[in-house]
Amino acid sequence: MTIDVNVSLSRWPFRRLPLDELRPLIQKLHAVGVTQAWVGSFDGLFHKDLDGVNARLTRDCELAPRGLLRPFGTVNPMLPDWREDLRRCHEVHHMPGIRLHPNYHGYQLDNPRFAELLALAAARGLIVQMAVRMEDPRMQHPLARVKDVDTAPLANLVTGCPGLQLMLLNAVQSVRGNALKKLVATNRVFFEIATLEGMAGIARTLKQMPLSLLLFGSHSPYFVIESALLKLRESPLTDAQKTAICNGNASRVAKPA
């Protein structure tokens, strides 16, 4: 049983991906043993009508076998109706969480609206996912250069927001050193493995954070999901460690489907 916490629907705007249509993606998830995927939408990066984005995401998830796809709506605190978007994610679409893209939406983490968003999401019991990057800078179109999110203010924000459960996506290549230590020390910031590089990447990461904070994520369909599965095989992990990463840790974070 595997819970993939980092999957996206719709189409990446700069190139076609092999699994950017719903049916082939569902078939692939089944084929590799993913029993639940937490999904956002690529449309949320650039569209301003986020209510429409989140409604489509919900409908697509409902087309999959029950419980397979769990929608995480996009909220952009720079838009006028962002509080209403958050409310609808929770009360209308019954989403377990939201997915944020500060670098694509044009705000820094020291913006007061971001702190308010975290507090409101925590009060509603929503999981907050934040993508530190979506695309390797080496692959970015020259007219669409997007820097990784600067996470420096994040540890203090998490400490000051009781009840917040925060998950960083595509972060392990960007968040390092003292910044990583501060986030790990909160014991409420989770990481996933999609962007790990190098041999025994998971084993090396577990020297920097407790097992309880590491989750399985593939960044599919932007990355092929087999890449994340290979990371589990090539690191020297016990069965208990694999179970915790693949589903145990995510199950503790998530509400029942």
User: What confidence tens digit (pLDDT) does each residue in 61-75 have?
Assistant: 999 999 999 999 999
Confidence category of residue 255, pLDDT binned at 50, 70, 90: low
Confidence category of residue 136, pLDDT binned at 50, 70, 90: confident
Q: Rounded to an integer, what distance in angstroms lies between the CA atom of residue 41 and that of residue 37?
A: 13
| Residue 96, amino acid | P
Q: What's residue 257's pLDDT? A: 44
Tokens of 161: 């927001």
For residues 163-188, give the mean pLDDT. 93
Residue of 32, 93, 91 lying closest to 61 (CA atoms): 93
Q: Rounded to an integer, what distance in angstroms lies between the CA atom of residue 234 and that of residue 232?
A: 6
Pairing mode, strands 69-74 and 34-41 = parallel
74-116 pLDDT tens trace: 999 999 999 999 999 999 999 999 999 999 999 999 999 999 9
Q: What's residue 184's pLDDT? A: 95
Domain 2-253 has CATH 3.40.710.10: no
SS3 state at 60:
helix
SS3 state at 217:
coil
Confidence category of residue 200, pLDDT binned at 50, 70, 90: confident
Q: What's residue 213's pLDDT? A: 97
Spell out the residues 6+ positions from residue 250 whose beta carbon is closer than 8 angstroms to its own.
3, 5, 36, 38, 215, 216
Which sequence spans correspond to the domains of the chain?
2-253
For residues 233-238, give the mean pLDDT. 92
Between the alpha carbon of residue 13 and those of residues 42, 132, 144, 244, the distances in Å are 8, 18, 11, 34
Tokens of 234: 């090539």
Q: How far is C-alpha 53 from the chain's CA centre?
A: 17
Q: Is the pLDDT of residue 30 over 60?
A: yes
Q: Is the pLDDT of residue 205 over 50?
A: yes
Q: Is the pLDDT of residue 198 over 90?
A: no
Q: What's residue 176's pLDDT? A: 87
Q: What's residue 174's pLDDT? A: 87
b/e 55-94 (16+ beta carbons within 10 angstroms → b): bbbbebbeebeeebbbbbbbbbbebeebeebbebbbeebe
